[in-house]
Structure 1
Amino acid sequence: MAAYFTNFRKLKCSTEPSPHCTKMKVKILQWHAVASWTWDAQDETCGICRMAFDGCCPDCKFPGDDCPLIWGSCNHAFHLHCILKWVNSQTSTPLCPMCRREWQFKG
């Protein structure tokens, strides 16, 4: 019978706070971070040509400095050649191909 009451008290402590319940206290003496984080990028591919950013656009033969990423004020990124073609093809005020806000180079 004593085991029943002990188990009942443990069950009750897990569902209802009471003065009979004991809480485990842990003091952290030292902390070593083992992970890092970065902001979640919206995409890993260009929204115009759909090629990976770590590669190059269809106009370039090799990835690198000749095919940099360009960000707009809306925080969307594109290959330089892709966004230049897009902006030059617009008949009126150029808009971001992703969110349709007025396109402005982030500077």
Structure 2
Amino acid sequence: MKVQFTSCTLASEWCWAVKDSNDVCGICQVTFDVACPACKMPGDECPVIWGVCTHVFHLHCIMKWHESSTNGETCPLDRSPWRTLAA
């Protein structure tokens, strides 16, 4: 049996493995499938990062938070010491 394709349309979709697909970054309030305000495209250039406290943020948002925070490196949502969850 020989099969010949005349056309083919491919599609794909990706998302971060967050608990709720409608969840948003606690700092910029943008969903994780969209880039943070500092980036143009979502994906590997704008990753998400989980804290031990289970809060999730865009990497750029949490970095900017720590640069401007007077409380040291704390979680913006619960003010616990920020520690990144090991992969």
Tell me the alpha carbon deviations over residues 55-102 of structure 1, each in whole angstroms, 9 at most, x when there is no partner.
110000011110010011101000000000011112342210111111
Which residue, out of 35, 55, 74, partners 2:34?
55
TM-score, length-normalised on structure 2?
0.70
1:89 alignment counterpart: 68
Bigger Rg, which one: 1
Greater fraction of residues in helix: 1
The number of residues matched between the two structures is: 68
Structure 1: runs of 5+ lacking an equivalent: 1-38
Q: Percent identity?
A: 50
* Gap runs ≥5 in structure 2: 1-17
Q: CA deviation at 1:40?
A: 4.7
Identify the structure with bigger relative contact order (alpha carbons < 8 Å, sequence gap 6+). Answer: 2
Q: Secondary structure at the match of 2:66?
A: helix
Q: TM-score, normalised by structure 1?
A: 0.58
